[in-house]
Amino acid sequence: MQSRIATPRKEMSQGALALIFSAPAVLIIAATILVPFGMAVFLSLHNWNLKRPGRERFIGLENYTDWLRDSDFWDPLGTTFTFAILAVVVIIIVSLLISLLLNERFPGRGVLRALLLVPWAIPSVVNALLWKWLLNPQYGLVNAIFFEFGIITEYQNMLGSMPSVMIWLVIAYSWIHIPLATLLLLSGLQTIPGDIYESAIVDGAGIWQRFLTITLPLLRPMLSIVVIFEMIFALKVFDIIFVLTAGGPADATNVLGWQIYTETFRKLDFGAGSSIAMLLGAITLALAILFYVFLDKGVEQ
Amino acid sequence: MKQRARIRLVIIYVAAAMLLAGTVGPFLWLVSSSFQYERQLLNRPPQWLPNPIVLDSYREIFEGAVMGEDSGVPYQSRIFLRSFANSFFVAGSVAVIAVMAGAYAAYPLARLRFRGRQVLLFAILASRLIPALSLAIPIVLVAKRIGMSDKIVSLVFINLSFILPYVIWLLQSYFKTIPMELEDAGRIDGCSRLQVVHKIILPLSLPGLTSAAILAFLLTWGEFLFALLLSESPSSYTSTVVVSLFATDVDVSFVSIITAGVLSVIPPICFALIFQRYIISGLLSGSLKG
């Protein structure tokens, strides 16, 4: 919006003002995001291992072609997608159910909505610690509850084997991600005018029919945004893996985030680590664009 | 009809009870565990409520911080309080600086016409798409070379850049909601642009600035990757790093680990509940409005 007041002559142009006002923030962002990004591209094109100093040299795309031929890339990629898809599905279904509940009027609704912020505020590392305790093979609450209800006959190491480790990892991860998704979906639900439902009721539409023909189509733009957000987050999962499973057992939860970490900071191969990180970034970006175009088209129809 | 209304309410409250158990249950169990004796934690079936209430693990952390090695408590417990203070310092500094720098950057994006406005807006948003892991590699390398590794200031700087785009986005959408007439009135009275920002925009944006500051604090408090990679000693460990040191060590007692977990979520949870209105509005406008 341009000001309707004529600019006094002594004042500088809007462009110059914009430059000065945004300079501190832009400089900080450039120094810590753009410059490192350029360096990461540089590193990914080099043989750069801290264990063998003095042997750094330019190797072109060799790091990339090496990864693309290596099961150490494809296996974690598959694990990452398994995890991300499961997590997004769980998060979307549960937060849709919760937001439908919180969209109803009933005493206590405000308190419930506020308490959603409890899991949201828990840092991912503490969340991992919490679930490590809940899932403890000898003393964990989950084992105790399952045992008392007769679901299992003896205590088990839930994080010790597939597929249970993946299931519990998804549950633990989703627990702190559901609240934000719920709040977003709830705000989407609240934009749907109530009289649409009323006229549908007059027309004799049942609850399930109303959900399919009114709620879901009108919620679709918000649903698309949440799916894209959650997918981007889930693809770069790292914190919870670090504390809860360390990629194990036997690489069952070795996602790309963990692979990058071990490659770079344990094996100290910065070139290989940078190139696999670039691959993850490219995949994430491509998916975000694909989803955006695909889901956006769906909305228009 | 009355019958149906009653059924509806029953269904709602059953669902609400399940939701309540799901949202706060796991965390309350962590709190309850932290007040028990280690041997009570090993009971089958588990003991739901602490009886008696045991504060030993909390005392350990305070004694460890004061007495150091003489206290005989595990290493992680001794360094925990220091990391807690570090987290406050980092998250607090990031919140203050991000809102200050962010407000000045957000104003032109919301109100001024200049070439490159769209590009700047897009660049700020796009910078959030680059995975932190790929940036972490060169950042760690450079920090080590120039002697900025293991310094708490580096953590402030790095976190700032991840929070700033978010804060700018949130604030520019907030500034747009302030009526243009107010700004015009100020201009007629002879205010410069800077005075307009200081005397009109910022005071009227207090709720938006508060949301941004709280979100910046909470996001920084929970940050783990850079805190892990850029710290090498207790002088720069944040609480998330020490929590991870606890959680991955099999020799420390369960109750100490749990207590560290509880303590490190008390600030974010208190903040979240006290300022819930600001947080919810910030979360919604930050991710939605253009």
Is residue A256 located within the same domain as residue A161?
yes
Burial of residue B1 (CB within 10 Å: 0-12, 13-18, 19+) is exposed
Span A106-132, mean pLDDT?
A: 92
Residue A207: partners with Cβ closer than 8 Å, 6 or more residues away: none
- How distant is the alpha carbon of residue A117 from its chain centre? 17
- Which residues in chain A are closer than 8 Å to B225, comparing Cβ atoms? 238-239
Q: What is the pLDDT of residues A56-76, one digit of tens each?
A: 888 888 889 889 998 889 999
H-helix or E-strand containing A47? strand A46-47
Model pLDDT, residue B248 = 85
Same domain, A38 and A127: no
Residue A49 in any domain: the answer is no
Question: Could you tell me if B54 lies within 8 Å of chain A, comparing CB atoms?
Answer: no
Residue A19 with chain B: CB contacts under 8 Å: 114
Q: Based on the domain organization, do A119 and A182 belong to the same domain?
A: yes
Q: Taking CB atoms and an 8 Å cutoff, what residues of chain A touch B269?
A: 117-118, 121-122
Instruction: With CA atoms as reference, report the closest residue to B140 among B241, B248, B227, B237.
Output: B227
What part of B 203-262 touches A (C-beta under 8 Å)?
218, 221-225, 228-229, 240, 243-244, 246-248, 254, 257-258, 260-261
Residue B20 pLDDT greater than 50, yes or no: yes
In angstroms, rounded to a whole number, what is the distance separating the alpha carbons of residues B109 and A22?
A: 9
Inter-chain touch A28–B15, beta carbons under 8 Å: no
% of chain B with per-residue pLDDT over 90:
39
What confidence tier does A9 reach under pLDDT thresholds 50, 70, 90? very low
The CATH code that applies to domain B79-287 is: 1.10.3720.10
Contact A135, A168 (CB under 8 A): yes
B127 touches chain A (CB under 8 A): yes
The pLDDT tens digits of the residues spanning B26-69 come to 999 999 999 988 888 887 778 888 888 888 888 888 888 888 77
> What is the pLDDT at residue A10?
59
In a domain, A19, yes or no: yes
Same domain? For A93 and A148 the reply is yes
With beta carbons less than 8 A apart as the criterion, state whether B107 and B208 touch: no
Work out the percent of chain B whose per-residue pLDDT is above 70. 98
Judgement on whether residues A290 and A168 belong to the same structural domain of the protein: yes
Question: Is B7 an 8 Å CB contact of chain A?
Answer: no
pLDDT category at B216 given cuts 50, 70, 90 is: very high
Same domain flag for A90 and A189: yes
Closest CB to A125: pick one of B16, B130, B243: B243
Co-location of A84 and A28 in the same domain:
no
The answer to which of A81-90, A146-155, A258-267, B125-134 has the lowest mean pLDDT is B125-134
Average pLDDT over residues B188-199: 86
A112:B183 CB<8 A: no
Residue A2 located in a structural domain = yes
Of B15, B164, B183, the CB nearest to A25: B164
Q: Closest partner residue to A260 among B133, B246, B254, by Cβ?
A: B133
- Clarify whether residues A113 and A16 are in a common domain: no
Candidate from B27, B247, B265 with C-beta closest to A132? B247
For residue B287, what pLDDT is reported? 57
Residue contact A125–B224, C-beta within 8 A? yes
Reply yes or no: is the peptide bond before residue B45 cis, omega within 30 of 0: yes
Other CB atoms within 10 A of residue B284 CB? 17
Distance (Å, whole) CA A279 – CA A111:
43
Residue range of the domain that includes A162: 61-300
On the question of pLDDT at B153 being above 60, the answer is yes
By C-alpha distance, the chain B residue nearest A285 is B129
Residue ranges of domains in chain B: 2-41, 79-287
- Any B CB within 8 A of A223 CB: no
Q: Is the pLDDT of residue B146 over 60?
A: yes
Q: How many CB pairs under 8 A join A and B?
A: 266
Q: How far apart are CA A8 and CA B73, in angstroms?
A: 68
Q: Can you spell out the DSSP letters for B175-191?
A: HTTS-HHHHHHHHHTT-
Interface test with B, best of A12, A21, A77 (most B CBs within 10 A): A21
Reported as a pLDDT band with limits 50, 70 and 90, residue A297 is low
| A18, A148, A243 member nearest B247 (Cβ) | A243
Instruction: Answer yes or no: do A114 and B164 touch at CB < 8 A.
Output: no
Q: How confident is the model at residue A298 (pLDDT cuts 50, 70, 90)?
A: low
Note whether A39 and A102 are same-domain residues: no
Q: Report the pLDDT averaged over residues A127-134.
A: 93
* Residues B170/B211, Cβ–Cβ less than 8 Å: yes
Share of chain A above pLDDT 70, in %: 94
Which residues 104-123 of B are in CB contact (within 8 Å) with A? 104-105, 107-109, 111-117, 120
Task: Output the pLDDT for position B242.
Answer: 92
- What is the per-residue pLDDT for B252? 84
CB contact A27 to B (< 8 Å) = no
Residue B268, classified by CB atoms within 10 Å of its CB into exposed (0-12), middle (13-18) or buried (19+), is buried
| pLDDT interval class at A11 (50, 70, 90) | low
Testing the interface with A: which of B40, B87, B137, B144 to mutate, by most A Cβ within 10 A?
B137
A231 and A90 inside one domain: yes
Q: What is the mean pLDDT of residues A111-116?
A: 92
Query: Is A207 found in the same domain as A104?
Result: yes
Least CB-CB distance to A115: which of B23, B258, B287? B23
- Is pLDDT above 70 for B89? yes
Give the pLDDT confidence score for residue B286 in this predicted structure: 60
* Most distant CA pair in chain A, distance: 84
Residues of B in Cβ contact (< 8 Å) with A53: none
**What average pLDDT does range B278-285 have in this prediction?**
83
Give the nearest partner residue to B23 out of A118, A280, A281, using CB atoms.
A118
Query: Does B243 sit within 8 Å of A21, measured CB to CB?
Result: no
Query: Does residue A55 lie in a domain region?
Result: no
Q: How many angstroms away from the CA of A88 is the closest CA of chain B?
A: 18
Question: Which of A1, A13, A246 is nearest residue B180 as measured by Cβ atoms?
Answer: A1
How distant is the alpha carbon of residue B70 from its chain centre?
34
In this structure, the answer to whether residues A24 and A143 fall within a common structural domain is no
Q: How confident is the model at residue A79 (pLDDT cuts 50, 70, 90)?
A: very high
Of A301 and A141, more confident: A141
Helices (H) and strands (E) in chain A, counts: 15, 2
State the total domains in chain A.
2
Kindly identify which residue of chain A lies nearest to residue B40, measuring between CA atoms.
Answer: A139
Mean pLDDT of A13-39: 87
Please report whether residue A200 resides in a domain: yes
